[in-house]
Chain A
């Protein structure tokens, strides 16, 4: 169990550029989540995958944001035409699929800190 990994850890970009983040979940974890955390706030849910299917999307996920999990393993989060308001920590989490368990524990990665200039 090597934990959830995220790449890159830090990203600085100019307004209007596109950025892509990668998340590698814990091996064999079926569920994968993306959250966004701004300074002084708790994380806010963005989207959730079960295997390769994107099952839930927050209203925070505008049309400039897209997430994929093509083979049910790693996931990518892309932000197009970045804005200064997108500056935040983007956290990925994964959890195992356990039948009959509603509140599976989500294991978080270290996050990708995005700064939009």
Chain B
């Protein structure tokens, strides 16, 4: 079964610093990969997704992620953190089989320090 692992349940960065949130998937066949952001008491908002093609994917709010098949990773980055980036971030995958449901990681809470 597909699984998604997010290393680091809490990440703190200073405002203006690089944001790096880690995500690894477990599948011999690369799945389709997503990053979602969740603000308190709200639903999930899509940041970006990888299906096929270019391995560097650009999303909203200055975020991007790179799909690396050799490392089974899909890490999320942003060059310069902003206070408004403080939220919980979820990596998710849809397997390339018949299933359509998202399998989520356990999430990473990002804190941005002034």
Chain A contact residues, CB within 8 Å of chain B:
4, 31, 33, 35, 40-45, 48, 56, 58, 91, 93, 102-111, 113
Contact = CB atoms under 8 A, between A and B. Distances in A.
Nearest to A92: B43
Interface residues of B, number: 26
A45 B92 CA distance: 11
Given A56-B101, A91-B43, A105-B49, 19 more contacts: A33-B100, A40-B107, A42-B106, A43-B90, A43-B104, A45-B103, A56-B100, A91-B44, A102-B32, A102-B51, A102-B94, A103-B49, A103-B94, A107-B46, A108-B44, A108-B45, A110-B42, A110-B43, A111-B42
B6 to A, nearest CB: 8
A83 B96 CA distance: 35
Interface of B: 4, 9, 32, 34, 36, 41-46, 49, 51, 90, 92, 94, 96, 99-107
16 contacts: A31-B100, A40-B106, A41-B106, A42-B90, A42-B106, A42-B107, A43-B90, A44-B104, A48-B100, A56-B100, A58-B101, A91-B44, A102-B32, A108-B45, A111-B42, A111-B43
Contacts of A106: 46, 102
B1 to A, nearest CB: 11
Contacts of B42: 110-111
A108 B49 CA distance: 15
A41 B4 CA distance: 12
Nearest to A91: B43
Nearest to A109: B43
CB-CB nearest 3 A-B residue pairs:
A42-B104, A103-B32, A45-B101
Given A42-B106, A102-B51, A56 B41 contact: no
Nearest to B44: A108
Contacts of B102: 33, 35, 43, 45, 106
Q: Which residue, A41, A93, A102, has most C-beta atoms of chain B within 10 A? A: A102
